[in-house]
Chain A
Amino acid sequence: MFEGVPLQWFLITGTIMFFVGIYGFLVRKNLITILMSTELILNSVNINFVAFNKILYPTHLEGMFFAVFIIAVAAAEASVAIAIIINIYRRLINIDVEKMNEMKY
């Protein structure tokens, strides 16, 4: 399906996704959006794994499995994060990250 597409394109896509994720993580105020940004970062890594595996070592599957693992871990992490966010919401009636500055000096 992706025959003939050069490796660089995948990597460029991954890099763009990664930095979009970083940007979102740093500037968005809504916790849900921040969580989504982390998912973007993880998935950019997944793209790299799969692309490297597919193009450099077509006979192996390690990259694929890594991607699967990361997806699983990300799912678990997302559920935990959402649980935390719900708890924060119950307490503060708010999920603005700038309001959550209790843990300081």
Chain B
Amino acid sequence: MAQVVFSTWGNNVIDNRSVTGEPAAASFRLPVAFDGQQPLRAFMGWDGLIVFDNEVDIPAMAAEYMQRVQTLFCCGKCTPGKKGTKVLADLLQKVISGQAKEADLDQVADLNALLQNCKCTLCPSSTQPVLDAVQYYRADFLAYLNGGRTAKQEKYLHKITAPCMDKCPAHIDIPKYIEEIKNYQYSDALATIRENMPLPAVCGRVCPHPCETACRRKNVDDAINIMVLKRSASDYEWLHKLTPPMVPAPRKNKKIAIVGAGPAGLAAAYYLALQGYPCTIYEALPEGFGGGMVAVGIPAYRMPRHILQRDIDIIQSMGVEIKYNMRVGTDISLPELKAQYDAVFLAPGAHRSKPMGVEGEDKGYKGFLPGGIDFLREAYMGRPTGMGKKVCVVGGGNTAIDCVRVALREGAEESILLYRRSRNEMPADVWEVDGADEEGVKFEFQVLPTKILVDGNNQVTGVECVRMALGEPDASGRRRPEPMPGSEFVVECDTVIPAIGQDADLGFIPPEMGIDISKWNTVITKYLPLKDAAGKELKDGMGNPLSRYLITDCEGVFAGGDAEIGPLTVVACIGNAHRAANVIGRYLEEGTAYLTEQEIFEDLLTYLGVYDKNEAVAWLDSAGRAGQKEVHGKERASKGNYGEVELGFSDSTAQAEADRCLRCYRMAMVAL
């Protein structure tokens, strides 16, 4: 078990360098070995330093850290940052080369103080570990003076990050694109976004924007409206008819089949096409309905079809072929694909509604619809949905909210949502719930459907429900709902739509291919054996192994998206598929599927956590968050009205909103 030798991380000094007896206990969310093999010996970053190996040459590491900050990441766009880190970096180099005097070390604190007046966060945060090093390893620094020591040659790795870009599953360089918008460089901003986000119009509209939950500006007032700024950059290109600038690398001869034209399939195709690989996407739905869950799962009033189609058209213009009406497993088999292509990427999504577990749901009643996602798909494709006039939707996620709002647009006279917990505990995004409220959706909270009621013709006439009381918190931290005896009541309706979740339909994968499927119906892919000091395996937020390289146990077959992660978000699928595209490229070029040190570092930082909600951020809260304009009133949900509800920013609002960004870059470095 790796012992923490010394740490200043999180303003908490732990010094076990010369303790006798029981060392102070400390644990950090870091693996003992960087990639499962190379021991992680020391970590240096915005919050201080963590030393696991007493042999690490801290002065040399601090000097190298500052040198890398100054020459690789300091933007040079403010005086203290540009010049202060230069003076500091040169000073530390002077120490290491034995040319410094003891008094020079005193300037570190002075520079640290001066650097607190920087424009952004990178340079000030970078002085923290250096200051800590000089303070707590002063003897080691002094040993260098007069040429008393030579620096050890060590292997260092660095990674630039920011709380928002770390939290974004696609790891978009958010501070960079926001700064570009602030500087009226919309096309540059979009190019930055596209480095990690090939569906910018989509994620500018319907992303749950986890990035905003990790925005440091939140510690001052409110988060930057990162999502709508992304939309601004994306819509600028569209509204100015600019040609997307991507130029794929020269065409390569190895080709890739992709199952599913959803966010993951499209993202993988985009990045593989950029590398020069010919990609063919097999999509079960007909032409005009590409986009997977973004299309058939997100209603057009949130994601207008023509704008989604534009993102798809751009990907096709990069040489990606999409074969519509081709359901893998029916129209072509997976083994056939594997035989015809050099690699196959499975991204079928999670389109199968989960059963509700209520009496009568399996009886084939008229008016009991198969599931929320099926209802949304049929409505989206303009096909009969089987919906009546009074609709009950069961569930509390975004899909359930989409269903009640679509039901109104499909002509329902009444649209009711049944959810077993309270409004505050709904997994659906707050603004979606508010949107439904504004449109006249009725809510029944803390109710559990127990029975589907029908008439003599097996036509649904209502749902019998029981009221729920909230008990003790469960594993998710939310209070567990429990039925209140005697509270049974009936909600009259002619349509019931269960929308309580979906999973992947992996029936197209023949067992003999050797592809492992988890008990949650996801494809299992290979991963790095990362363990913490206690020997516990490192997992991501969905309970999957932290660092996966997305190849299945079947050679040449990769998997990603909802079918690999478990049903999650567009942005998570895109981040995951982007990584898959990189791994596939390496697999095809070098014959092995592996993760780069930068990719591993990315996962480690996510695990460690870059955002600190308790950090006191000193800033004047004089510029409030801007919200986008939207269409108000019930008419926006009138029958057949799928017009976009949210209208984005004007450019001037976008520029002002971007100006609120604190540009919270920071650099991490490890010694291996």
Whether A associates with B in a native complex is no
Which B residues are closer than 8 A to A by beta carbons?
A: none
